[in-house]
Chain A
Amino acid sequence: MNSPLDSTVLFQIGPVPITQAIVTTWAIMAILVIGAFLLTRRLDLRPTRRQAALELMVATLDTQITETTGAAPAPYRGFIGTLFVFILVANWSSLVPGIDPPTAKLETDAALAVLVFLSVIWFGIRAGGVGGWLKTFAAPNPVMIPLNILQSLTRVFSMFVRLFGNVMSGVFVIGIVASLAGLLVPIPLMALDLLTGLVQAYIFAVLAMVFITSAVEDGARTQPTIDLAPSPTKKDS
């Protein structure tokens, strides 16, 4: 049995090694995109059961975003929803024989964490400007700047380590048990792995939303109110 910490390089494109996790990610992307395209081909005002199920999913996600952030869900729906769906499908891909989930590899989880880190910056700057976003590090007072910077790094680090540890450990345990007693015995552990995969996807998405919301709210709170109406005083002067 190979170590789950090692990545299997399938082929090389120039200097870039293409690992099994990357190929699996591509397959998951293809399945998700093609499936989404097929599912959303005929959307109508009178929904079918399929459309109603899809709308229920989106409405549930919107509700979660709204309840978590209190903000309109539209700007965050694509990023948070895709994170959740991708991590969920990636976690559950361990059920396919011979497939290791991409989220059981450090690179994938680290990439997701980096994206969350960058999205926090992006949404923070978009909400409050660069100044507003930078001021979030000085909240509640400038003494907290080093700690806030450290926290912004460590919380993302903890996200990807948590996801990696849970998924990798599941795969590791199932691999060990399967090597010892391959018939029927791993099934309960695989069921548990399904639950773990769902919970981890949910936690990752909710934490990402919370971090983004924190940056957006702090940035918006520090941003001065801008009056878009023309000022007669300026015109007169």
Chain B
Amino acid sequence: MTLDWWGLGLQAINVLILVWLLSRVFWRPIAGAITRRQDAAQAMLEEGKTAQAKADAALAEVVETRAGIAKERDAILAEAKAAADKATKAELKEAQSKADAMIAAARTAIDRDRNTARKENATRAAELSVEIAARLLGRFNTPAVQATFLAQLVEAIAGMSASDRTALIASADDIEIITATNPEDAERANIEQAVKDALDGTPSVRLVTDPSLIAGLELRSGHFVLHNSWRADLENVLKEVENAG
């Protein structure tokens, strides 16, 4: 057995070349790929940590903001409640004032209506009283009453001033003597004569019947009226009652 030194050297060179070649085309590329993946994984981990830190910071900020929002919400709610209470009190006060004003106005209106009603009632009662009196007095329209009214008429004419009596006599219009009932001829003549005597002249008189007088005699011309009847008396009473109310 001999050792081939050429072969030994050649094989050593062959293995050295193989070591060099495989280092170039096999070991380094694969180790580089592993290293690149490790670096990429490390970078992703770092990126993940950074993202986690950012997310944590954002979460903390959100929590803080949420706390601030809750605080602000409470403040706004408290402020709104205070404003609502204030507005409620103001509204209540205003409503109370309006209600008081309305109550006062209603009371005033009620008093006014009550007074108006009372006046109306009084007026109506007076009118009713006058009407009742007129009907009652209508029953007592006797010749004696008529004579009394004639006497009162004559007395009233006598009470007139001379100038008024002269103006009445001198008026061109006919003087009307208003009676409540149509008198007999004798009585009619008596009345006309009594009036003419009272007027102290010969004026033109005409007798006219007006049942609304109830009882009495009145003297009328174009510009003159001498009331002397129960109707006139009742109207006077009614006016006085109304004025008194």
CB distance from A161 to the nearest CB of B (A): 12
The answer, yes or no, to whether B31 is at the interface (CB within 8 Å) is yes
Q: Which of B1, B19, B31 contacts A106 (CB under 8 A)? A: B1
- Of B1, B9, B18, B30, which contacts A58 at CB under 8 A? B30
**Other-chain residue from B11, B30, B40 in contact with A22 (beta carbon distance below 8 A):** B11
Q: Min CB distance, B37 to chain A, in Å?
A: 6
| Residue contact B27 to A111, C-beta cutoff 8 Å | no
| A54-B30 in contact (CB<8A) | yes
Q: Which chain A residue shows the least CB distance to B28?
A: A78
- 12 A-B pairs, CB-CB below 8 angstroms? A29-B17, A33-B21, A43-B32, A45-B33, A45-B36, A51-B33, A82-B27, A86-B18, A110-B3, A111-B8, A112-B15, A115-B15
- Contact of A96 with B by CB under 8 A: no
The CA-CA distance from A47 to B41 in the complex, in Å, is 13
The listed residue with most B CB atoms (<10 A of its CB), out of A19, A21, A44, A78, is: A78
Alpha-carbon gap, A66 to B7, bound state (A): 34
In this complex, the member of A26, A59, A82, A106 whose beta carbon has the largest number of chain B beta carbons within 10 angstroms is A82
Q: At the interface, yes or no: B14 with Cβ under 8 Å from chain A?
A: yes
Q: Which chain B positions have C-beta within 8 A of A45?
A: 33, 36-37, 40
A40 proximal to B (CB < 8 A): yes
**In the complex, A36 has a CB within 8 A of chain B:** yes
Q: Flag if B18 contacts A74 (CB, 8 Å).
A: no
Nearest opposing residue in chain B for A77, CB measure: B27
A107 near B11 (CB under 8 angstroms)?
A: yes
Given contacts A107-B11, A114-B12, contact A82 B4 (CB under 8 A): no
Contact partners of A94 in chain B: CB under 8 A:
none
Given contacts A55-B30, A55-B33, A115-B12, contact A33 B25 (CB under 8 A): yes
Q: Considering the complex, give the chain A residue whose CB is closest to the CB of B36.
A: A45
Residue ID in chain B nearest A54 by CB atoms:
B30
For A, the interface residue count at a CB cutoff of 8 angstroms equals: 48
Cβ contacts under 8 Å, A129 to chain B: none
Distance from B152 Cβ to chain A, minimum over Cβ atoms (Å): 144
Knowing A36-B22, A45-B40 are in contact, say whether A107-B7 is a contact too (CB < 8 A).
Answer: yes
Interface residues of A in 66-115 (CB under 8 A from B): 74, 77-79, 81-83, 85-86, 102, 105-108, 110-112, 114-115
Tell me the bound Cα distance from A85 to B32 in angstroms. 19
Interface of B is mostly: helix
Among A17, A40, A47, which residue has the most Cβ atoms of chain B within 10 A? A40
Contact across chains for A32 and B22 when beta carbons are under 8 A apart: yes
Measured CB to CB, the closest approach of chain B to A208, in angstroms, equals: 12
Confirm or deny: A166 has a beta carbon within 8 angstroms of a beta carbon on chain B: no
- Report whether A40 and B30 are in contact in the complex, using a CB–CB cutoff of 8 Å: yes
List A contacts of B7 (CB < 8 A).
7, 17, 19, 21-22, 105, 107-108
* Closest A residue, CB atoms, query B34: A55
Within 8 A of B (CB), among A35-52: 36-37, 39-40, 43-45, 47, 51
Residues A114 and B8 in contact, CB atoms below 8 Å apart: yes
Give 7 new A-B contacts, CB below 8 A, not counting A55-B30, A81-B27, A111-B14: A7-B4, A19-B7, A29-B18, A58-B30, A74-B31, A107-B3, A107-B11
Contacts of B14 in A (CB 8 A): 22, 25-26, 29, 111
Tell me if B16 is interfacial: C-beta within 8 Å of chain A.
yes
CB nearest to B13 among chain A residues: A111
A-B pairs, top 8 by smallest CB distance, nearest first, are A78-B23, A107-B7, A36-B26, A111-B11, A111-B12, A43-B33, A40-B29, A82-B19
CB contacts (< 8 Å) of A5 on chain B: these are 1
Contact between B6 and A102, CB atoms less than 8 A apart:
no
Taking a contact as CB atoms under 8 Å apart, the answer to whether A43 and B22 are in contact is no
Chain B residue numbers with a CB within 8 Å of A106 are 1, 3-4
**A2 CA to B25 CA, complexed, in Å:** 38
Q: Could you tell me the distance between the alpha carbons of A105 and B22 in the complex, rounded to whole angstroms? A: 23
Could you tell me the distance between the alpha carbons of A17 and B21 in the complex, rounded to whole angstroms? 24
Q: Does A180 contact B (CB under 8 A)?
A: no
CA of A16 to CA of B7, assembled, Å:
8
A17 / chain B contacts, CB cutoff of 8 Å: 4, 6-7
B70 within 8 A of A: no
Q: Taking CB as reference atom, which chain B residue is nearest A58?
A: B30
Q: Does A224 contact B (CB under 8 A)?
A: no
Kindly state whether residue A188 has any CB partner on chain B within 8 Å. Answer: no
Question: Which B residues lie within 8 Å of A108 (CB)?
Answer: 7, 11
Q: Which of B8, B26, B32 has the most CB of A within 10 A?
A: B26
